[in-house]
A and B are shown apart, each in its own frame.
Chain A
């Protein structure tokens, strides 16, 4: 995740993910089609990383799709920027960031990713055997604090 290039600090702070607004959409989805529609919509709302930041050093290994992750610690809180060239992975990344963006080290360390995805009706998305790379991204986020 370490990289020679790093987006400006302000960029990290401009990313807003309001969990009280986002999470009910998943909790209220009553079938997988609706959940995946929400995932993709959420992915669309996550800003695209500029090409200069879509570089190998920022790539998270273990993803079938390309996924990039940046981390910045500002005033004791952790902020992230991430992107993927696959829509569902990008949406799932946005869901992960919803839970971790702007949180303290203790909060991120205590964050139970499996329980979080279970609650959202997305059990199975985090298995390391899946090729979607979310597991690798979750590990990278946990490792960043």
Chain B
């Protein structure tokens, strides 16, 4: 694979900030978009713009075909067993909310909901709201010292027969990878409903939802080189079919009278209103982009870069890494000595370096690590060794400014 050619597909990366070339190490927050994604959305608006599933005319027919083709693409992409198991949402957050709202009639007071301590707020707060409405009890799954799920503690918690287990595939804040196949199998053995947040995994790993064995798998388009405003809720058909719709209205109905409404079947039943059509089409182009990459080579390249990043950070000295090891995916979290992460972020930004600094929408995780926040450098397919070198050089100058 010709790397310069790959990188040249991302127009955003070709800019300078205050005289410095942009060094984008915030892919975990949102990835940059290749031309083919941007073009696919533009083409839709230029040529095929119409609402889906409704009109008798040709534009609508073209739009509907394009839109529904992406559902088929996704079925293959994550190895779902049926196309009806793919529900379009506006992102990971909406996907999880649809599940937590949809399960209201299946959760009772006193039921236990286990949540990964490393989960980000999108996989915590909706469960808390479900707990408030149902009387269920939230229990965090403890982490080991290296920020992995403590499997012994997890097994102990599973003995309490939780109703739901909510995990992350790859942690948002730290890039730590969970052995989800194993964790889900254990949860399923106790009868729990399982949800895996795949937001940080989907752009880096090949996902097979049937191999994972989870009931729900959720992710966002914008973290996988696709547009913002589009996400996916995968649900195993039988359990998805039992979800109460969070949104009702047009599209999701079969028949409406003022006396009674009969809901449509999946997937329409969970897709009320006009969907984000251009974004779905953009997501389809993002899948094409990912599928066109040489898988093994790309994965190897990302792992090599991440290991290089971890080594260079360690070599800088006065750096504290959180949960870093060779199994991490896409991201490294760190702090510079006891300096405030925001100071580090501002001084890096002055040099054109984009990293995330803060609590990473994972405040319970930060509390468990005993920190207010940290910095996170994250990579994508377009990240180069030069990006890492520039970042390390910039961080060395930040260190000199802050620690001298």
Contact = CB atoms under 8 A, between A and B. Distances in A.
B401 A131 contact: no
A36 B401 contact: yes
Given A64-B358, A87-B402, A36 B347 contact: yes
Contact of B342 (A32, A36, A37, A65): A65
B347 A88 contact: yes
A87 B350 contact: no
Contact of B343 (A32, A33, A66, A88): A88
Contact of B373 (A36, A37, A64, A89): A64
Contact of A64 (B339, B342, B347, B402): B342
B401 A132 contact: no
Contacts of A87: 339-340, 343, 402
Interface in A5-57: 32-33, 36-37, 40
Interface string B329-346: 000000000011111011
A86 B340 contact: yes
A107 interface: no
B357 interface: yes
Contacts of A32: 18, 350
A118 interface: no
Contacts of A37: 401
Interface residues of B, number: 17
A94 to B, nearest CB: 14
Contacts of B340: 65, 85-87
A118 to B, nearest CB: 15
Most buried by A among B343, B345, B357: B343
Given A36-B347, A40-B401, A64-B357, A132 B342 contact: yes
A66 B358 CA distance: 12
A131 B339 CA distance: 16
B18 A88 contact: no
A89 B341 CA distance: 12
Contacts of B402: 40, 87
Given A36-B401, A40-B401, A64-B373, A131 B18 contact: no
B402 to A, nearest CB: 7
A53 B129 CA distance: 34
Interface in A82-138: 85-89, 131-132
Most buried by A among B340, B345, B346: B346
A85 B397 CA distance: 21
Contact of A86 (B18, B343, B350, B401): B343
B278 to A, nearest CB: 25
Contacts of B346: 36, 88, 132
A135 to B, nearest CB: 14
Nearest to B339: A87
A19 B372 CA distance: 33
A66 B402 CA distance: 18
Contact of A131 (B347, B350, B358, B372): B358
Interface in B180-221: none
B21 to A, nearest CB: 16
A36 B350 contact: yes
B318 to A, nearest CB: 15
A36 B404 CA distance: 13
Interface in B101-120: none
B173 to A, nearest CB: 15
Contacts of A65: 340, 342
Given A37-B401, A40-B401, A131-B358, A89 B350 contact: no
Interface in B387-404: 397, 401-402
B27 to A, nearest CB: 19
Most buried by B among A37, A86, A89, A131: A86
Contacts of B345: 131
Nearest to A39: B346
A89 B340 CA distance: 10
27 contacts: A32-B350, A33-B397, A33-B401, A36-B346, A36-B347, A37-B401, A40-B401, A64-B342, A64-B357, A64-B358, A64-B373, A65-B342, A66-B372, A85-B340, A86-B343, A87-B339, A87-B343, A87-B402, A88-B347, A89-B342, A89-B343, A131-B342, A131-B345, A131-B357, A131-B358, A132-B342, A132-B346
Given A32-B18, A64-B341, A87-B339, 15 more contacts: A33-B397, A36-B346, A36-B350, A40-B401, A64-B358, A65-B340, A65-B342, A85-B340, A86-B340, A87-B340, A88-B343, A89-B343, A131-B345, A131-B357, A131-B358
Interface of A: 32-33, 36-37, 40, 64-66, 85-89, 131-132
Return the 6 tightest CB-CB contacts between A and B, nearest first: A86-B340, A86-B342, A65-B342, A64-B342, A88-B343, A87-B343
